[in-house]
A = this chain, B = another copy of it.
Amino acid sequence: MDSSSLLGQLIEAFRCLPGVGPKSAQRMAFHLLERDREGGVQLSSVLQAAMERIGRCSVCRDLTEEEVCRICANDRRDSSLLCVVESPSDVLAIEQATGFQGRYFVLMGRLSPLDGVGPAELGLDELASRLRDNPPEEMIIATNPTVEGEATAYYLQRMAQKSGVGVSRISHGVPLGGELEFTDQSTIAHAFSSRQLVAEK
């Protein structure tokens, strides 16, 4: 495709989207041009507004176009529970799946010294002042169970303990609907070692 034409530029621009290769980008461009110009115009204007106006919540660091996000601004949310997650999509996943009515803190990443991501980049100073000035009863750690997520969880746990805040961690193990046979070894090993007693003998 001639990349100096507007069509070529459009196809190239779609490649900034995750999971979009040359063929999908072509398909997207032709679809909008041939069948959905209105949708294309709408996408372009919403995208522009979003890129310009969406920033971070000054309280929880989640993405929002307001100074303070709707969850933080909602007086009815329970301030005694604080859930710490890695990214805004985790907030969305928890909101959609659970009835959690507490508050969040979004790290926007995980500790990864080799990539230059330390406590400061994750806003852990802000979290520390929040734990000190406005301590919750319980801090729920919901980082991902990867090596870096675990290291981050350990760091968070020590922070909370220093501030005298209770800490919990969401459970990990065999997913519901999953089968042992098709579950990876480390998950099975973890599920086995963190088994819970359901009846005393």
Residues of chain A touching chain B, judged by Cβ–Cβ distance below 8 Å, are 1-2, 5-7, 9-10, 13-14, 16-19, 24, 26-34, 36-37, 39-54, 63-65, 70, 87-89, 92, 96, 108
Contact = CB atoms under 8 A, between A and B. Distances in A.
B6 A47 contact: no
Contacts of A27: 18-19, 89
28 contacts: A1-B92, A5-B64, A6-B49, A6-B53, A6-B65, A7-B50, A7-B63, A7-B65, A13-B43, A13-B46, A13-B47, A16-B32, A16-B39, A17-B31, A27-B89, A29-B50, A30-B87, A32-B47, A32-B50, A33-B54, A40-B47, A40-B51, A41-B48, A43-B47, A44-B44, A44-B45, A44-B48, A44-B51
A47 B33 CA distance: 10
Given A44-B51, A48-B48, 7 more contacts: A1-B96, A2-B70, A6-B53, A7-B88, A10-B50, A16-B39, A19-B24
A40 B50 CA distance: 9
A87 to B, nearest CB: 7
A43 to B, nearest CB: 4
